[in-house]
Structure 1
Amino acid sequence: MNTLITLIAIAVLVAVFLSMGITMIPQRRAQVIERLGKYHRTLEPGLNLIIPFIDRPRAITILTFKNDQPVVRTEDKIDMREVVLDFPSQSVITQDNVGVQIDGVLYYQIMDPQAAVYGTENLVLAIQTLAQTSLRSEIGTMELDKIFESRQEINARLQTVMDEAGNKWGLKVNRVEIRDIDTPQEIREAMNQQMVAERNRRATVREAEGYKEAEIQKAEGDKQAEIAKAEGQKQAAILVAQGEKEAIQNVMAALEGKADDPMAGVQYLIAQRYIEMLPELAKQGDRVFVPMEGTALLGSLGGMRDLFGAGAMSSVDSPAAPVTGSPTQGS
């Protein structure tokens, strides 16, 4: 009877011992096991066996914020998922001595449970402190306007610094984001005035550029019009000159062998042009001055009649506007 009781007691002790040695690790979790106070191994997700009273889990200290209040707790099982750490707002002085309130958020993930447990006393507090000091350092080297323009650059720099420091803690910083930048009221008003002035300046520049372009286009159009007009006048002058050339050639051909003076044809054309201008001269007033050279030219038309015949002088014999005055007088 005593033997049976002893066996039952031993079986119960073995069952209790085994139940204490069986550890279930959930997915995306890990547990650091120490044997006699020294690191032994890291338990992976699933069913694991340890030696009770000899193997003990090493807890990790976690700092979290609940309603902006810090909460410190210890956990036996290490969360291997990506964790969002929202560190509170802090006051930062920019390079141009403007005080701003900046808060941010970072995303980290524990990659090495052993380094996360033994690397620092409080992992989250270390990450938060490093993020705040790195943020102050980056913002302190930049002016306020540059901060608003370079958020992505600041985030990239912070991530690089945090990732390098996090390697010895067994974690990886995936992203660091500046969530909000709060400036004093007078700074916001000054920025609004600057923005309005900048928009007015851009509008003025756009208007001036439009006026400049319009004037350039107008000047270019006037230039092309003047060029076309000059080209037309050039062609007209060329055609007139060609016509006069052909007329002189015809007159010279008609006078060939009939006149002693080769220039008689030219004098005839000059006299004919003079006769054509007399009506226009008569319109300018009641009396017209007729120079002596004009009477000589008119006298040469009689000689031309004998050379060309009556038909060739029909244009000269046509009635002209009355001309008053004498070769030597005028009113």
Structure 2
Amino acid sequence: MEALIVVVVVLFIAALLVASSSVRVLREYERGVVFRLGRLIELKDPGLLLLIPAVDRMERVDLRVVTLNVPAQDIITRDNVPVRVTAVAYFKVIDANRAIIDVENYYVATSEIAQTSLRAVLGKADLDTLLSEREQLNADLQQVIDQQTEPWGIKVSIVEIKDVDVPANMQRAIARQAEAERERRAKVINAQGEFQASKQLADAADVMSRNPATLQLRYLQTLVEIGASGNSSTVIPLPLDILTPLLGKLHGTDVGDTHDGTSAAGADAPVEDIDRSPRNGVPRLGV
């Protein structure tokens, strides 16, 4: 009797083990790929799943987006510059059956494809393109990787270049190039400003030449600006039409000339003579 009880208990425990091994629960983001005696049967949806013990074998497939960190790759650009590039890729399984049947390990396979595609695509670009046109290179990488993983039921949605490590000597060269570019832009902007200012000054001079009163107003405005500057000494410029009569009186002549080209003081005005007798080694001017 005791032996019978032991047998019953053993059979009950074995039945529980078999039942537990045949019951599966799939989450909402999982799918079950079931093989029955080695043959693929229909894909199992989320929920409670019963398998035939020792007959069915199931592979879980996660349908969520997977973040793949592409290891750093040493790349020679088209202009023969060695760089070290790291990237990140985002992909998801869209066909669970093909992801299990067509490739042994879709995660490892996708990682290897991403590394080789990174070297192939970026090796065709020069350094300036690699540093300035990231968006276009990201789009090219995504397209190339997705085309190769599509037969496996893998969809690569995003590929982003993370870091580009440039050698120190190239960094100095890039810095010098950027500095030269900024200096060129500064000179161009300065030249454009000078050109525009000269055009405005020419227009202002043309307007002032039509009305002499504007010159006098500009003169008074200049005096106001000089007086408001707070300088200890003030320089007052005098117009030429005021200085000319004074200079003429100092020389004993009038301002204007006669119609025949002689001075207004008369044609018989004494002419200056040069006393060439040496006096202290310097010729003397006399009237």
Query: What is the TM-score of this pair, normalised by structure 1?
Result: 0.60
Q: CA deviation at 1:26?
A: 2.2
Match of 2:101 among 73, 97, 118: 118
In the TM superposition, what whole-angstrom CA distance separates every residue of 1:74-132 from its partner, at most 9, and x where no partner exists? xxx22211110102101001010001000100011111111111121221222122112
Measure the CA separation in 2 of the matches of 1:148 and 1:286: 83
In structure 2, relative to structure 1, the CA distance for the partners of 1:219 and 1:148 (3 Å cut) is same
Q: CA deviation at 1:28?
A: 1.0
Measure the CA separation in 1 of the matches of 2:127 and 2:91: 28
Q: In structure 1, what residue type is equivalent to 2:135?
A: Q
Matched, 1:154 2:155: no
How many residues of Structure 1 are paired with residues of Structure 2 in the alignment? Answer: 218
When Rg is computed on C-alpha atoms for both structures, the one with the higher figure is: 1
Match of 1:221 among 192, 199, 204: 204
Measure the CA separation in 1 of the matches of 2:67 and 2:266: 109
* Structure 2, gaps ≥5 residues long: 213-257, 269-287
Q: In structure 2, what residue type is equivalent to 1:208?
A: A
Match of 2:155 among 152, 172, 187: 172
Measure the CA separation in 2 of the matches of 1:34 and 1:286: 131
Aligned residue for 1:100, secondary structure, equals strand
Matched, 1:198 2:198: no
* Structure 1, gaps ≥5 residues long: 59-76, 231-279, 289-331
In the TM superposition, what whole-angstrom CA distance separates every residue of 1:274-294 from its partner, at most 9, and x where no partner exists? xxxxxx99x944799xxxxxx
- State the match for 1:321 in structure 2: none
Q: In structure 2, what residue type is equivalent to 1:170?
A: G
Q: CA deviation at 1:222?
A: 2.2
Measure the CA separation in 2 of the matches of 1:125 and 1:37: 24
Q: Percent identity?
A: 34
- State the match for 1:45 in structure 2: 46
- State the match for 1:143 in structure 2: 126
Report the structure, 1 or 2, having the larger helix content: 1
Measure the CA separation in 2 of the matches of 1:14 and 1:287: 146
In structure 2, relative to structure 1, the CA distance for the partners of 1:7 and 1:286 (3 Å cut) is closer
Q: In structure 2, what residue type is equivalent to 1:33?
A: V
Aligned residue for 2:32, secondary structure, equals strand
Q: In structure 2, what residue type is equivalent to 1:190?
A: A
Measure the CA separation in 2 of the matches of 1:201 and 1:287: 63
- State the match for 1:262 in structure 2: none
Q: CA deviation at 1:224?
A: 3.5
Do 2:99 and 2:153's aligned partners in 1 also have CA atoms closer than 8 Å? yes
Match of 2:170 among 180, 187, 210: 187
Q: CA deviation at 1:157?
A: 0.8
Q: CA deviation at 1:220?
A: 2.1
In the TM superposition, what whole-angstrom CA distance separates every residue of 1:191-226 from its partner, at most 9, and x where no partner exists? 011111111111111111111110111112223444
Q: CA deviation at 1:13?
A: 5.5
Query: What is the TM-score of this pair, normalised by structure 2?
Result: 0.68
Do 2:71 and 2:115's aligned partners in 1 also have CA atoms closer than 8 Å? no
